[in-house]
Every structure is written in C-alpha cells, then in structure tokens.
Amino acid sequence: VTEDPHPRILLTSDPHSGLRTIHDLTQAIGRPGIAHDLWRAIQVQADNHLRTDPIDVYTPLPGRSPADLEKGNREYIVVNAAGQRVLVSALAALMTDDERYVDAAVEQIDCLLDAQAWPEWQDIFHREKLGFDADLRTGQLVRDISLAYDWLAPRLTLTQRARIVAGIDGRGIQPFFSAVDAGAWWVERMNNWTTVIVGGLGMGGMALWGEHDQAQRLIDMATRSMKTYLDHYGPDGEFNENPSYANSSFLPVLYFHALRYHEGQAGVSPEIQTLRNHCIWCMYATTPPGHLVSFGDGGPKYPH
C-alpha cells in the first residue's frame, strides 16, 4: 500500500522532514501556551459547526448588508466564514480523528460546490464591474478548500476526493486561467488582489500537486508573483499602503510558509525573514490606544 502524501501543507506526518508534524502540534496544544489557547477556540468553533447548517450565499451573518443578503452576494464576510468553517472542521478532524468533523467539513465543501447554493465563486459586483471570471473570492475559496482537502484527504473516500478536486478545478482553477488569459490586471499589479488571487491559487496547486495536471503551473506563477510582491516593501519594512491594508502582509507569510512545506525547506524561509522588519514598521504605525497613523496608498508618483 502506497502511503498517502497528505497532509503536507503547514503540517506533515513525516517525522524526518524537519517541518512541524501533527505530533509536534499535538504536544504543543497539550501544554499551556498560545497553541493550547488557539486550539481551545478552534474546538469551540468546530463543535458549533456540528450543530449548524452549512453557509450559503443567503446565510445571515453579522456585518452582512441587506443588499448583499437579498442578492446572495459572495462578499468577503460570507466567503471568509464559509472558508473558515471548512478549515476549522478539517483541522479538528486532523487532530482528533473524529469523523463528525470530517463530515462537517465535507458538508460545507459540497455546499460550496453546489451551483444553486453558491452560483459563482466571485463577488457579483466585481463580475459586473470588471468582467473577469475570477476575483478575490476565487482566490480565498481555492486556498481554503484546497488546504482543507490536504488535511482531510487520508480520511476521504476516493469518490469524495475526486469530487472535491474536480470541483476546485471547475469552480476555481479554470475560471482563474480564463481571467488570466483575458488580461486580468491583478496578475501584475502587485497589491492585495495579487496575493489573494494568484497566491491563493498557488496554494491550491501545492495542495493538489500530483492530483491536478496544472498544479505546477499554478505554483510557478504564484511563486514568481509573490517574490516580485516583496520588492514593494522598503528596506526598513515600510509598506506602500496604509497600516490597515498592511494587515494583508499575512498573505505572503502564509504563502511562503506553505511553499516551505511543499519544497521541504527546514527552517525559516528567506522570504519570511525579509518581512520581519515589516512587523516593526506596523508597530510604529500604531499609536496608543490602538490608533493607526493615517495615510493613503503610497507610490513613486504620490509619496505622501
């Protein structure tokens, strides 16, 4: 019997990889500390998902506008909630071997693959204004579902695995390539759209590597873009957008952390090391009690 290559992104079962293993995480959450506290919060969420219905485009959630609810819009709030529901359930399944969490994750994934519950993995208004077949929501959902798939795969049937991979392809990967072929501006513009969409599809490629024939193309394209994106940080970690948007810097950190697992790199990657000064810049751009230094997007033509 061939050993399943999953999980391999952000966690691994290989004790010889030099990367964080499931065993390492199990030990960390078993003793007092940040990992323990985060795990307790994740367990509460995962248990709640066992008692609630999957999220669809009409699910009322805090912060959703009446207009978005009426239209069933795929705006950030509902897409993030659905993605987090999948990830939380998948991680709980990975760490506990409890089939209930597997079922909850698969139920939400199947809902996201259902064209009636989720007509498109894209914001209605982005579709109307930009006309491309992919947007921020495509990147979010491909990233989250693919990562969850990596964690769930050993516990899924072959039929479930094939259905999920085909669904990610049809609802996310092919629309992405269609948008790229149509000249989508976010491929080269180097802002948070690039990191969410191109980076998200790259993480999808890592999770589906060996199971999707375009996975390596996604990884190569995303890695090239994400490395170019790092050039937009200054030598002292300064960012060309305001401190609120600087929060999106977690996206290149997440991407290069995932890439480290995909490529089997032990230790902190050089790309993440370059972002350490950015953390200090963010602290200097914040003043007590939690106020942010106020400025807009910066650049060579508008530096102030």
Average confidence score pLDDT of the chain: 93
Alpha carbons 239 and 237: distance in angstroms, whole number: 6
pLDDT at 304 over 60: no
Cβ atoms of 77 and 106 within 8 Å: the answer is: no
How far, in Å, CA of 170 to CA of 286, rounded? 42
Domains in the chain (CATH in brackets) are: 22-292 (1.50.10.100)
* Section 227-240 average pLDDT: 89
In angstroms, what CA-CA distances link 121 with 113, 159, 168, 208, 238?
Answer: 9, 23, 10, 19, 33
Between 72 and 303, the more confident residue is 72
Q: Which of 5-9, 74-78, 236-240 ranks highest by mean pLDDT?
A: 74-78
Which pair of structure tokens corresponds to residue 243?
Answer: 């401190």
